[in-house]
């Protein structure tokens, strides 16, 4: 169950947001303090499995061949074969579009070195290097979990954002997602809450409501 202060902040953010003609996302704006983010080990870079999902579909692509590719076609949005990987390596514009259109990537483990060599320059800076999976594995459980996962990533900036769901979700579900992200964030920071200057909740077009 979500904390009362989180429920109130989410409720205020939702209720003060005007009706829009599109599905608004609900995001956290996180501001850090007293931390040197020029040092890579101090940066936040983590994935959080949200208890109530993201509230909307996201695209996931799989690099694979043979049996894995057949299984992946049933659950992934796109399957990229080793032959198509070569084509992508030669077409940086298409490779960038692929990286921007898909939130997560999964790859047959033996292909990882090839992907790193041919697409690392595109996927790496975006934090989208694939998650390896054995060729004989069923990719469905991993992909289903990734559809409910968000990435929290500060890079070298003290202010960054993390999606927690959509405006159509219940206030309770959104608040539980928020608490899960905050808990994970506190656990990752060297001084926990002491490294958090403030946290705000807002819808895409709505006003910010302070949580911390």
pLDDT tens-digit map of 70-96: 999 999 999 999 989 888 888 889 999
pTM: 0.88
For 108-129, give the secondary structure using H, E and C. EHHHHHHHHHHHHHHHCCCCCC
Domain stop point among 104, 119, 146: 146
Q: Return the pLDDT at 17.
A: 84
Number of domains in the chain: 2
The range of the structural domain enclosing residue 138 comes to 60-146
Domain stop point among 120, 146, 172: 146
The answer to whether residues 191 and 133 belong to one domain is no
* Full pLDDT tens readout for the chain, 212 residues: 778 999 999 999 998 888 887 888 999 999 999 999 999 999 999 999 999 999 999 999 999 999 999 999 999 999 999 989 888 888 889 999 999 999 999 999 999 999 999 999 999 999 899 999 999 999 999 999 999 999 999 999 999 999 999 999 999 999 999 999 999 999 999 999 999 999 999 998 889 999 99
Domain stop point among 146, 170, 195: 146
Cα 4 from Cα 141, distance rounded (Å): 33
The CATH number of the domain where 33 resides is what?
3.30.190.20
The answer to whether residues 139 and 71 belong to one domain is yes
The answer to whether residues 48 and 112 belong to one domain is no
Cα 155 from Cα 40, distance rounded (Å): 8
The CATH number of the domain where 142 resides is what?
3.40.50.790
The answer to whether residues 67 and 131 belong to one domain is yes
Question: pLDDT (tens digit, 9 = 90+) per residue, 145-172?
Answer: 999 999 999 999 999 999 999 999 999 9
Beta strands 196-203; 149-153: pairing state: unpaired
Beta strands 149-153; 45-49: pairing state: antiparallel
The answer to whether residues 123 and 161 belong to one domain is no
The answer to whether residues 67 and 139 belong to one domain is yes
CA distances from 87 to 64, 73, 95, 171 (A): 15, 20, 9, 45
The answer to whether residues 88 and 138 belong to one domain is yes
The answer to whether residues 189 and 173 belong to one domain is yes
């Amino acid at each position: 169950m979500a904390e009362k202060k989180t429920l109130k902040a989410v409720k205020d953010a939702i209720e003060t947001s005007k009706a829009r003609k599109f599905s608004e996302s609900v995001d956290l704006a996180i501001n850090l303090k007293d931390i040197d983010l020029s040092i890579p080990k101090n940066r936040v870079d983590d994935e959080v499995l949200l208890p109530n999902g993201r509230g909307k579909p996201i695209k996931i692509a799989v690099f694979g061949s043979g049996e894995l590719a057949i299984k992946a076609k049933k659950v992934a949005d796109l399957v990229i074969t080793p032959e198509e990987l070569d084509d992508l390596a030669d077409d940086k514009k298409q490779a960038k579009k692929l990286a921007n259109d898909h939130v997560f990537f999964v790859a047959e483990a033996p292909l990882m070195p090839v992907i790193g060599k041919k697409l690392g320059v595109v996927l790496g800076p975006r934090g989208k290097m694939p998650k390896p999976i054995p060729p004989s594995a069923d990719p469905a459980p991993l992909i289903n979990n990734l559809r409910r996962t968000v990435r929290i990533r500060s890079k070298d900036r003290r202010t960054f954002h993390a999606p927690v769901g959509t405006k159509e979700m219940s206030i309770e579900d959104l608040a539980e997602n928020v608490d899960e992200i905050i808990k994970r964030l506190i656990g990752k920071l060297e001084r926990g809450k002491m490294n958090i200057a403030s946290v705000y909740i807002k819808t895409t077009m709505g006003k910010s409501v302070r949580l911390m």
